Structure 1
Amino acid sequence: MRRKDFLKIGGMLAATASQASLYGSPISKASKANAPIDFIHDGLLLSPKEYASLLMKLADEGKIKPDYYSNGGVVEELEAKFASLLGKESAVFMPTGTLANHIAIRQLAGQNRRVIVQEQSHLYNDTGDCAQTLSGLTLIPLGTNTVEFSLDDVDSIVKKTQGGRVATRIGALSIESPVRRQKDQLFSFDNVRQLTEYAKSKDIKTHLDGARLFVQPVHTNVSVIQYGAPFDTIYTSLWKCFNAASGAVLAGSKRFTENLFHERRMFGSGLPNAWAFAAVALYYADSFADEYKQAWTKAQQLFTLLRKDERFSIAQFEHGSHIVELTLKNANPTRFKEALAKTNLELPVPIKNSFLLKVNPSLNRETPQNLASRFLAALI
């Protein structure tokens, strides 16, 4: 890509990342005094300036090959990379996770229009009934207000569906892990294996909504590839962990993905140029796992230091991943949050006297000891 062509669309790049907060460097391992850190995001939410600077760097290095309507170029490189990371034969870029999940279950279900989902899933709660409205699918929610559903739950639905006055079949089963509405807790791998084996025996296709899948291995003994292997398809987000301004990847067999760009375009999502998303996600693709592992280790050290002060209480969830609950004793949470913000350290909005802290690679910009000092100073 020529530098002058890149400059022509600089305004567009800034707009796509306009919701981002400021960071000191697009490389999370950069360490400097008072570096911006947050406990809010999954990855590094780059500022417009940082995002454009990184793209300029990659363009100058000749690492951005233009795509054409989201095909070819750096988008194709991204697809190959994430197919490998997810352990699937092939992958297709999607502009959003909502579309990735929707197209996955639409294609997997085929003519069998009933799809089993988690009651707490993004697909069931946060997509405006897109699968029902646009694809005529019937979503059957299981596991009310819980992380998981059971094999008995699924078997009961399958038998009820087959035994109706008009016999029908379940076309697909979708699992989300980590589960955002349940504080990013994990759907157990043992249960995944049971459910996917049962589904295969009934010729039911399976999909994994793994928007934040790449944080899981640090909290389990199961790799991304191992966890995703039983599923026919997997979606993962490009902006949550991999810092793109937008984007997703849907991975599966070559047969599944071969002509999926037609479905993508049918839904109005064959973007004329997707390189601005693909190039950044590709840049971070190989580093997130190690950087998150390092960040979690530092977070554990930080929590150990804070627990020495009786004014802090820190709890991890039973099936948790990167979210922990910090509770303050005899302190004003709003003033505490404001005091930390003055030191370039951002916390989420408090819930009563507690904060749900999300660990991400921005923690690698400071030592646990210095972070603990800032937390303690904010109480005074």
Structure 2
Amino acid sequence: MKRKDFLKLGGLIAATASQPDVFATSKPQNPTGEVDFMHDGLALSPKEYAGLLMKLADEGKIKADYYSNGGVVEEMEAVFAKLFGKESAVFMPTGTLANHMAIRRLAGQNRRVIVQEQSHLYNDTGDCSQTLSNLNLIPLGLNAVEFTLEELDYVVKKTQGGRVETHVGVISIESPVRRQKDQLFRYESVKKIADYAKNNNIKMHLDGARVFVQPIHNNISVVQYCAPFDTVYTSLWKCFNAASGAVLAGPKSFTENLFHERRMFGGGLPTAWAFAAVALHFVNSFAEDYKQSWQKAETLFSLLQKDERFKITKFENGSHIVGLEVKKANAERFKEALAKKNIQVSAPTANGFLLKVNPSLLRESAPNLASRFSESLKESEM
């Protein structure tokens, strides 16, 4: 893409041309930048996002696509396919569509689909799979991260033994599980379920919106974790800072001509380079950036817990979310005090705060962050 073509997007882009070069790597270079404990990624502002696109365009790294095919979109698809250990990948504008397209195609005529009761696919998509594709989602594992092999076997056999014999076509697993504080579906459990699925001719799909944070916490590579699944999706905006987008990977026989169904469901965007280029910029360095971020977070947590008024809670099979309890302080005032010191945290709950670790921690040292937490605690004491 030529720079003059990019400038047609408007004055905002032109206004950012003189920004400092803060995007040479995925690591934020400004030491006074905001540290965000709320998002999976860097939560780039519109100005930062536009500035990065300008930089990538100037460097000749944005090749235009046509209806989400070719160009930098194709480059991005190839990179993610390799990172997943799959043959091929296809861009999707949203994770909702990626999950839907995966289970729709995998199911074929066996239209019953096993999902976690806590999954995004079951709770947050407006029954799109049921309404638009006549799929029958069967939720297992009430209020839990995982469902058991026994639960699965019971449903499969009951389905096959009905007066009208039917079959489960797909098992969809989400990991990390957003509604369960991003806890992980254990790899040992995945392998058992995958063996069962193979023996019963059932396909497997992974909703891996945040799967790239897992290796630091379970010592299982993304390729190894994804291997038992026929297809896998990940978000482009959660960890890789794109304004939107997703990528769905699997065998070539699966992805071939999938763009037709994508367009049939209104997902064939005329241009998708603005999403793909940013995700491609961040993807190769994310693993190391996140590793360093988690190491810094561990140091921060250790420093905070030297003060008995701070309590850090790590969750069983957890990933990048921890609990923070603040004693003898007003939680709302504590949040406001942190915000004045360029630290953003989510709204407090009855048990305190949930802190989400991401590469924005690379903007500041752990001791300086700990000092800001301590100062904010003092300012919010009851």
TM-score when normalising by structure 1: 0.96
Match of 2:293 in 1: 295
Task: Give the 5 Å matches for 1:1-380.
Answer: 1-10=1-10, 25-26=22-23, 27-352=25-350, 354-380=352-378
Q: Secondary structure at the match of 1:298?
A: helix
Determine the C-alpha separation between the residues in 1 that align with 2:104 and 2:58.
Answer: 40
Show CA shifts across 1:340-377 (max 9, x none).
10011101100035000000000011110000000000
Q: Indicate conservation of the 8 Å contact 1:65/1:275, yes or no.
A: yes
Q: 32-41 or 310-319: which moved more?
A: 32-41
Q: 31-40 or 321-330: which moved more?
A: 31-40
- The one-letter amino acid paired with 1:291 is D
Show CA shifts across 1:318-350 (max 9, x none).
110000000011011111110110011101100
Q: Secondary structure at the match of 2:114?
A: strand
Q: 351-360 or 207-216: which moved more?
A: 351-360
Determine the C-alpha separation between the residues in 1 that align with 2:228 and 2:11.
Answer: 43
Structure 1: segments with no counterpart, 5+ residues: 15-22
The change in CA–CA distance for 1:332 and 1:30 in structure 2 (over 3 A counts) is: same
Determine the C-alpha separation between the residues in 2 that align with 1:306 and 1:355.
Answer: 14
| Matched pairs, number | 372
Q: Secondary structure at the match of 1:230?
A: coil
- The one-letter amino acid paired with 1:136 is N
Determine the C-alpha separation between the residues in 1 that align with 2:253 and 2:32.
Answer: 50
Q: Indicate conservation of the 8 Å contact 1:31/1:366, yes or no.
A: no
- The one-letter amino acid paired with 1:99 is L
Q: Secondary structure at the match of 1:285?
A: helix
Q: Indicate conservation of the 8 Å contact 2:213/2:319, yes or no.
A: yes
Q: 324-333 or 24-33: which moved more?
A: 24-33
Q: Secondary structure at the match of 1:117?
A: strand
The change in CA–CA distance for 1:73 and 1:124 in structure 2 (over 3 A counts) is: same
- The one-letter amino acid paired with 2:4 is K
- The one-letter amino acid paired with 1:9 is L
Q: Indicate conservation of the 8 Å contact 2:35/2:344, yes or no.
A: yes
Determine the C-alpha separation between the residues in 2 that align with 1:30 and 1:52.
Answer: 15
Identity of aligned residues (%): 72
Determine the C-alpha separation between the residues in 1 that align with 2:372 and 2:245.
Answer: 35
TM-score when normalising by structure 2: 0.95
Q: Indicate conservation of the 8 Å contact 1:10/1:52, yes or no.
A: no
Determine the C-alpha separation between the residues in 2 that align with 1:103 and 1:33.
Answer: 42
Match of 2:17 in 1: none
Determine the C-alpha separation between the residues in 2 that align with 1:45 and 1:164.
Answer: 49
User: What displacement does 1:29 show?
Assistant: 2.3
Q: Indicate conservation of the 8 Å contact 1:115/1:139, yes or no.
A: yes
Q: Secondary structure at the match of 1:277?
A: helix
Structure 2: segments with no counterpart, 5+ residues: 15-19
- The one-letter amino acid paired with 1:212 is R
